[in-house]
């Protein structure tokens, strides 16, 4: 049974960098069958794809966030990470890590999500 768990600070100051890590257990992050994804959801609002990474390190980002986002993978630790720079209150959201089936494109497993608040 695959499990994804987000970790990182729940409070970030404006203009600083938000950093989260997703630890994958019960499966290998090095599988060619999957992309690893970050998605966020502001309180009371809809879902927004942030970006995806393949085990090789190939990344794809949402154009609206691309200038501020970096996603990386650590295969020995079975983890992938998100960095979002120059945050504002608009970046306050529940951040989910998830697994996307590479060919089918669907997201079949999600972490529980972690709330990150941007505030001074």
Partner 1 sequence: DIQMTQSPSTLSASVGDRVTITCRASQSISSWLAWYQQKPGKAPKLLIYKASSLESGVPSRFSGSGSGTEFTLTISSLQPDDFATYYCQQYNGYSLTFGGGTKVEIK
Contact residues for partner 1 (CB under 8 A)? 37, 39, 46-49, 52, 60, 62-63, 96, 98, 100, 104-108, 110-113
Q: Are 95 and 114 a contacting pair, CB within 8 Å?
A: yes
We find the least distance from the C-beta atom of residue 43 to partner 1, in angstroms, to be 11
Phi/psi of residue 98, nearest 5 degrees: -155, 170
3-state helix, strand, coil in the chain (%, to 5): 0, 50, 45
Of 63 and 76, CB closest to partner 1: 63
Residue 30, CA atoms < 13 Å, CB-side half-sphere: 5
We find the least distance from the C-beta atom of residue 105 to partner 1, in angstroms, to be 3
Of 34 and 96, CB closest to partner 1: 96
We find the least distance from the C-beta atom of residue 5 to partner 1, in angstroms, to be 12
Residue 107, CA atoms < 13 Å, CB-side half-sphere: 15
Of 18 and 97, CB closest to partner 1: 97
Of 12 and 98, CB closest to partner 1: 98
What is the full DSSP assignment across 64-94?
TTTTTEEEEEETTTTEEEEEE-S--GGG-EE
We find the least distance from the C-beta atom of residue 64 to partner 1, in angstroms, to be 8
């Amino acid at each position: 049974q695959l499990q994804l768990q987000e970790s990182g600070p729940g409070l970030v100051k404006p203009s600083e960098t938000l950093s989260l890590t997703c630890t994958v257990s019960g499966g290998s992050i090095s599988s060619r069958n999957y992309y690893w994804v970050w998605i966020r959801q502001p309180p009371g609002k809809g879902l927004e794809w942030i970006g995806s990474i393949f085990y090789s390190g190939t990344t794809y980002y949402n154009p609206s966030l691309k200038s501020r986002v970096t996603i990386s993978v650590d295969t020995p630790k079975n983890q992938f990470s998100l960095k979002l720079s120059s945050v504002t209150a608009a970046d306050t959201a529940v951040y989910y890590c998830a697994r996307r089936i590479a060919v089918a494109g669907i997201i079949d497993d999600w972490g529980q999500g972690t709330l990150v608040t941007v505030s001074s």
